[in-house]
Amino acid sequence: MSVDWFGILLLLGGFLGLMLIRVPIAFALGLASLATAMHLGLPLLLVAQRMINGLNSFTFLAVPFFILVGNIMTEGGISDRLVRLADVLVGRLRGGLAQGNIVASSMFGGISGSSVADVASIGSFLIPAMTKEGYPPGYSVSVTITSSVQGVLIPPSQNMIFYALAAGGLPISTLFMAGYIPGFLLGGSLMLICAVMARRCNHPKGRRYNRHEALMALFDAAIGLFTIVIIIGGILTGIFTATESAAIAVVYALLVTVFWYRTIDYRAMSRIFATTLTTLAMVTAIIMTSSVFGFLLSYLRIPTLLAEGIFFISDNKIFVLLAINVLLLILGMLMDMGVLILLLTPILLPIVTKVGVDPIHFGVMMILNLGIGLCTPPVGTSLIIGCGIARIRMGRAVKQMWPFYLAMLVVLLMVTYIPALTMTLPAMMQ
């Protein structure tokens, strides 16, 4: 079968060209796909059907609920309580505020499922607090944004749902369980870096809490953290599906924030729903257009051509995974994480399965890899938000970040080449 190189150029070149002139991603995907379909002589009805098929999934119904529950808990002040609990647990150590930042991110990430939400909420008061305690602003930003990557690994993660959709409907519960060990391994490695830096730079210790204060902080935070129990417990026990668990978690989050914490009123609710609808509209448009784009990638045999090119160099599993990691790290610096998951999964998944990599393992590897991209210039969203909160230039933060980058890359290599880190918990579920 001959290769339509002009069609490939029109699809990929058109998309990249539109991105360069700052056309919104959903429109860039749609216009490039439409032009390519017309070139190939495909009926436009097929394009419309593919767009609808991208949303015609029960798994997709979980997306709006996960976005909504994250927004409710963020607006409802759960992050304040998690930071206090983290300070109770590790604040008395040298460099305790930095350690508490990482612990709080691991807990908050399990509620919001978003690195960006983590930085925007926890970072909004922890970055200034760390700076006030004498930590360099660049260091404060580095700790906050790198620890926020736990949010894309520790369930429930919105990006894992996107991967499950792009991979053809993988079980979300299995993906969720696969992210726990890598997520906590990442947090542990960052805490080790903070411990070393605290001794070298003589970072301050935090205050000690008495037993009553500690129990009150634990109880107050536990009420919000029970949201995670509802989502994960419901899925693992088989009582609820992922969508049903997310919907019940929304109801619980509303009850907690409105009646217990009393931090949400009618005005806050309007902001929450407006933010959720805006995010959902953007996500929906990208999923629809990326579905057509992915179909055309397959129609033009681009995954096959890429696989042949890689295997022509070497079919060694170690090399293939290393090459894919390098590709993802580069692209993660340039494009949004969710878009890359939707676009690259149909291309790369057939390649890794040929060398014996489980789709669940690859999903966690890909999400961690692209999570690092959220912390790297020039378009790392978490990095931009963190620098905006600290009011410093991006270069100043990046200079302080190299030990944390190194720790994240080591964890990425461990996740890539030690499948047991991702597959042990899912295997225990079966």
- Comparing CA positions, the residue from 401, 408, 346 lying closest to residue 149 is 408
CA 130 to chain centre: 25
The vertex-64 CA angle with 388 and 329, nearest 5°, equals 50
**Residues linked to residue 213 through DSSP beta bridges, in sequence order:** none
Residue 367, pLDDT score: 94
Residue 326, pLDDT score: 93
Give the list of residues 6+ apart from residue 251 with CB closer than 8 angstroms, or none. Answer: none
Q: What is the mean pLDDT of each run of 10 residues along the chain (430 residues)?
A: 83 89 88 92 89 77 82 78 82 84 81 73 81 87 91 85 86 88 94 91 80 86 82 78 84 88 84 87 86 87 84 89 92 84 89 93 95 85 86 86 94 96 87
Residue 374 CB: number of other CB atoms within 10 A?
Answer: 27
The vertex-28 CA angle with 149 and 320, nearest 5°, equals 50
199-214 residues labelled b (16+ CB within 10 A) or e (exposed): eeeebeebeebeeeeb
Between CA 86 and CA 76 the distance in angstroms is 18
H or E segment to which residue 165 belongs: helix 158-166
Residue 143, pLDDT score: 92
Cβ atoms of 14 and 22 closer than 8 Å = no
Residue 122, pLDDT score: 79
Residue 120, pLDDT score: 77
pLDDT digits (tens, 9 = 90+) for 116-156: 777 877 787 788 888 888 888 899 999 999 998 998 898 87
- Comparing CA positions, the residue from 279, 64, 248, 57 lying closest to residue 170 is 57
DSSP string, 126-149: HHHHHHHTT--HHHHHHHHHHHTT
Residue 430, pLDDT score: 66
Domain boundaries, the chain: 5-429
How far is the CA of 219 from the CAs of 85, 163, 222, 223, in angstroms? 9, 35, 5, 7
Give the list of residues 6+ apart from residue 33 with CB closer than 8 angstroms, or none. Answer: 11, 47, 289, 292, 293, 296
